[in-house]
Amino acid sequence: MPNLRDIKKRINSVESTRQITRTMEMVATAKIRRATDRIVAATPYATAMVDVLEAIAGRASNPESPLLVVRSPIKRIAVVAVTSDRGLAGGFNSNVLRAVDRFVALKRGEGVECDVIACGKKAIAYFKYRKIPITLSFRDQSADPQLSQAREIASLIIDGYVKERLDQVVVFYNHAKNVADQVMTSEVILPIEKVEYHEVGEGESTASYSDESAKAAAAHAAVLVEARAAAREVSSAALLQGDFDYEPSATAVLEALLPSYVETRVYHALLDSAAGEQGARRKAMKSATDNATEMVSTLTRLYNRARQGAITTEITEIVGGAAALEEE
């Protein structure tokens, strides 16, 4: 059995770790609200963009934009991997990286070349270690993605697709299903297809949260989702009423909007991943804090048992010594 000093040092070490994980849990909880605000605020614009494109496409005669062309056979694919810059977020990064690794291996087995665009330090380090060439990379922006980042990615993939250097573009990221759960998602950005943007859900029951700030984050997300859904219904109803005249033509307007649509798709994926990152980190740190608390409890019982044994041994020795003196 370990001695009392070793057990006490272990307890102090675990308690220090618990303070760190608890602090990180609280920080992630505080960041969830801002991250959720950004993705929920961006979703109506992205959804409206889809509605507008669908409406214009229905009135355009024979649109000839190269972004709508489906190429076959596919010879080269651009893969956009969206991860975080920091770890301590459970399987948030590993899920995306494993999915990308399997996808690239499968396509290369079929004779298809893959260009990798890495967003986040974890993706950059992973592909460098695997000796997979990186066409474009971004770091230190995963928690706060900027529109300029999405524009640079969109510009690269649009240019490659228009010039027929790329035949398909696929993005891999974690969709923030709610403030607690994330779903690994892959979407084809080019060629442009019909897409429904993911919604940020209300999240788990507030009864499972350990503090008031987390409950407030879940409630805030629920309110924003309801507001977004109401706005979508109003905007869709307004869009479908009446007819429109397009200058110079519906086809020209459609082709002018398509690059903005691609940019919006990329930016939406970056924001969605950022929201999921904070939720994943809060969940991982909460689990670590709970495990540390349980370990401290177990070690305290072990310490008390060892201390009780030591005291019993000392009493036995004292009684034995006293008995020996009486016999003399």
Which three-class secondary structure state does DSSP give residue 173?
A: strand
Radius of gyration of the chain (CA): 28
Question: For position 46, what pLDDT does the model report?
Answer: 80
Half-sphere exposure of 233 (CA within 13 A, CB side): 5
List of residues 6+ apart from 90 with CB closer than 8 A? 280, 281, 283, 284, 287
Contact call for residues 302 and 204 (beta carbons, < 8 A): no
Q: How far is residue 50's CA from residue 239's CA, in Å, rounded to a whole number?
A: 11
- Sole residue written with tokens 């759960």: 181
pLDDT band (50, 70, 90) for residue 1: low
Q: How far is residue 39's CA from residue 176's CA, in Å, rounded to a whole number?
A: 9
Kindly report the backbone phi and psi dihedral angles of residue 196, in degrees, each rounded to the nearest multiple of 5, phi listed first. Answer: -110, 120
List of residues 6+ apart from 273 with CB closer than 8 A? 82, 83, 84, 119, 142, 145, 173, 174, 176
- Residues 171-213: tens digit of each pLDDT: 999 988 877 788 888 888 888 876 555 555 544 433 344 454 4
pLDDT band (50, 70, 90) for residue 49: confident
Q: Which domains does the chain have, with CATH numbers?
A: 31-201+208-280 (3.40.1380.10)
- Residues 238-290: tens digit of each pLDDT: 444 556 677 777 777 778 888 888 898 899 899 889 888 988 888 899 989 99
Amino acid at 167: D
- Residues 279-324: tens digit of each pLDDT: 888 889 998 999 999 999 999 888 888 888 778 877 887 877 777 7
